Structure formats: C-alpha cells, structure tokens
Amino acid sequence: MLFKDVYRGKKVLVTGHTGFKGSWLVLLLKKLGAHVVGVSDCVPTTPSMFEALKINELCKDYRLDILNYPELNIIFQNEKPDFIFHMAAQPIVATSQSEPLRTLSVNAMGTAHVLEAMRSFKHACTGVVITSDKCYENVEWEWGYKETDALGGKDIYSASKAAAEHIFHSYVRTFFVNNHPVKLCSARAGNVIGGGDWAQYRIVADMVRSWSEDKTVVLRSPNSTRPWQHVMEPLCGYLHLGAELYAREKLHGESFNFGPRAEQNKTVKDICENLARIWGHKNPSGSYSVVENLNLKEAGLLKLNCDKALFHLGWQATLNYQETAQLVGEWYATYYQKKETNMMDYTDKQINFYFDSAKKQNLTWTV
Ligand SMILES: NC(=O)c1ccc[n+]([C@@H]2O[C@H](COP(=O)([O-])OP(=O)(O)OC[C@H]3O[C@@H](n4cnc5c(N)ncnc54)[C@H](O)[C@@H]3O)[C@@H](O)[C@H]2O)c1
C-alpha cells in the first residue's frame, strides 16, 4: 500500500499541473486512485510533458492566472478539494531577473491567493505549499540548510520564495488556528531532473534540445557539483507529507526539506557525459562546449539538510545517482528517438520502477 492509500477516491487540486513537476504529480496521483483537478494559466513550454502525455485527459483542466483571486476563489469553493498541492509559480532564476515583478507577484501573492481561498473552507482539507531550497538566506556555507535557518534572498527569485514561505507561516499562525479544518505544511526541495522538462535555462533540457539538433550543449560551469535528484523523489516526499499531515495534525504549520542522498553530488560534466552515453552520442566527452559566466546573479549551491523529514516522516530518497541518470537519459532518448510510440505507457514503467525500488527498501511511504 502506498501513502497509506489516503489519496484513493479523494479530490486533489494541483496548481501548476501543466508544468514539469505538476504533470508528473498528476500521473502519480492518478496511479494512487485520486480525482485530480488542475489549475494553471497555460502550458509553459513546447514541447511539454503535459501535451506529450495528454495529461489533460487525466484531470479536470482549469486555465486561470492565480493572480485572478475572484475566479480562483470560485474554483476552490466549488471544487471543495480534500487535498491541495500548490506548485504554480514562475520557477526560473534567469527569468526572475528579466521579469522581477511577475516573479514576485506569482510566487508571493499567488501563494497568498491560494491560502486566502482556503481560509473560508468549512470542510477538511490538507495542503502542501511547495516553495524551494532557494527560500533560505544563502550564507555560502557548504553544510546543509535546516528548516530553522534564516529565510531570505539576495536575488529576486530567492526573495520571491522566501516571501512565499513568510506568507505561508503568517497565514498558518493568523488564520489556520483553533481547529480550522485546513491543515498545511510547506515543502522545500532543490533542482530536480526528469523526463519531460523543456524549460529554458535548465541544464538537462538544454542538453537534449541541443543534441536533438546535432549540436553540442553549452555548459556554463562544467566542474560545479549539483545534487542531482529525480523529479519523483520530492514529489513522493510531498505526497508522503500530505498523507502524514492528513493523519497527524501536529505536523500542521511545519516546513520540511526534501533532498537527494549525499552521494548524488556529481559535476555538470559528469551528468552531461552520462546522459550523452545513454543518448547514444558517439563522443560523450565532445557532447558539450564550455562558456564562462553569463552574468547571472544566481546564488551559489545550496545543500539541504533533510534530517527533519527523516526523523518526523521517516522519509529519504529512493534512487542512487546511476538510477537517476538512467531514468532521465532513457526517457529523453525514448522520446526523441521514437523508441516507443506511447510515452504514457513508457512513463508508467518508470513510475513502476521507482515504486518497486522504494518497496524493496521498505521506505516508510510504501508500508
Ligand atoms: N523544477 C525544479 O527543479 C524546481 C526546483 C525547486 C522548486 N521548484 C518549484 O516547483 C514548482 C513547479 O516547478 P516546475 O519545474 O514544474 O515549473 P514549470 O514552469 O514547469 O511549471 C510551473 C507551473 O505553474 C503554472 N503557472 C505559472 N504562473 C502561473 C500563474 N500566474 N497562474 C497559474 N499558473 C501559473 C504554469 O502554468 C505551470 O503549470 C514551482 O513552485 C517551482 O518553484 C522547482
């Protein structure tokens, strides 16, 4: 039994369901027997996981800007969801520098709108507000950030995610008190990789876009290490958190980090060569070229300390680095090289592989 079977037959509202993480979350929820309602303004990329797998056929598909509070509130009051996962956001650091006002509005006020709409719920609802590891004030240290560390942002993106966290905590303490039927947690994860991501400025998406046009990919920092994490890892962390919060009220108002295993720290060059090999590139070490500094004011690497999720939720990541790279590389190779005609069936096999790996390890959300 997965996630204690709490999602079976439940109505689950996902904001940002047309995005990369949102599309994978809809697939996972459908497999768990949930009825999914999605709210997003548009499909953010072409191609997209959402369109490639016809995710619209799996859920009720609302198109709305979450900054339109009156319409958002009508959807929330009419749908009366049992669970809400809030993921709609402007998630790209580079875009936050060209579009600071939109980033701050969507990430901060968009979160306020979601919480405000939940404030008048009279029915029980469990919510997980997804922010980011970038919500922490980056003091450039090498050990992991804990949930009690200071929030803050030296750049616009970090400020928008720290603001979302402050708004979350202030709403919880001000309004979601005295046996309010809504229970909420926030979840902070770092960058993820996985099949079906075609967003701009994301390293794996850049690789497959370039290789599919027989070009080399341009790497900005080939020797930087990154904690490579498959998208299913934090998503199953959010689902586990939702299931635990549903059963254990005392988690209400808490925030949790979800990160990969420590050994996942490989360089950008490593993952590029691994994925090039899976892609079938004739010369993996020649699959990229290097250019220094595109003048992005992005904060340095943030590492998450996930002890709280381990201690209170019994959560830990499922995959090792090799498995992560294999799933990601094979998904894109299958898509671009048309090795399978039905990407839905293929993605389902990857989800089964992931669930089976977690079951073999007796991870808490599988028993
Ligand atoms: N992908 C990552 O590596 C990563 C890392 C850390 C945190 N996150 C967070 O996870 C969440 C999902 O990220 P993603 O990678 O799937 O992003 P994405 O760009 O693929 O999807 C974003 C989703 O939000 C929706 N959206 C954006 N603005 C909206 C608005 N004004 N109104 C309604 N919907 C709107 C889009 O339509 C899309 O469905 C975001 O909150 C992001 O900050 C992502």
Q: What is the DSSP letter of 46?
A: S
> Is 162 in contact with 153 (CB distance < 8 Å)?
yes
Q: Does residue 87 line the site of ligand 1, with CB under 6 A?
A: yes
Which is the closest atom of ligand 1 to the Cα of 161?
43
Can you tell me whether residue 189 is helix, strand or coil? strand
Which is the closest atom of ligand 1 to the Cα of 102?
31
Distance 12 CA to ligand 1 centre (A): 17
Q: Does residue 90 line the site of ligand 1, with CB under 6 A?
A: yes
Q: In what order do the strands lie in the sheet with 35-40?
A: 59-63, 35-40, 11-15, 83-86, 125-130, 182-189, 255-258
| Distance (Å, whole) CA 257 – CA 270 | 25
Percentages of the chain per state (helix, strand, coil), in multiples of 5: 45, 15, 40
Q: Does residue 19 line the site of ligand 1, with CB under 6 A?
A: yes
Q: Does residue 135 line the site of ligand 1, with CB under 6 A?
A: no
User: What H or E segment, with its residue span, contains residue 115?
Assistant: helix 110-119
Q: Does residue 164 line the site of ligand 1, with CB under 6 A?
A: no
Predicted pLDDT at 119? 98
Predicted pLDDT at 298? 47
The per-residue pLDDT string of the chain (367 residues; one tens digit each, 9 = 90 and over) reads 999 999 999 999 999 999 999 999 999 999 999 999 999 999 999 999 999 999 999 999 999 999 999 999 999 999 999 999 999 999 999 999 999 999 999 999 999 999 999 999 999 999 999 999 999 999 988 889 999 999 998 899 999 999 999 999 999 999 999 999 999 999 999 999 999 999 999 999 999 999 999 999 999 889 888 889 999 999 999 999 999 999 999 999 999 999 988 776 789 999 999 999 999 999 999 999 998 765 554 456 788 999 999 999 999 999 999 999 999 999 999 999 988 889 999 999 999 999 999 999 999 999 9
Report the b/e string of 262-283 with b at 16+ CB within 10 A. eebbbbbbbbbbbbbebbebee
Which is the closest atom of ligand 1 to the Cα of 130?
41
Predicted pLDDT at 153? 82
The domain covering 10-291+303-358 belongs, at the CATH homologous superfamily level, to NAD(P)-binding Rossmann-like Domain (3.40.50.720)
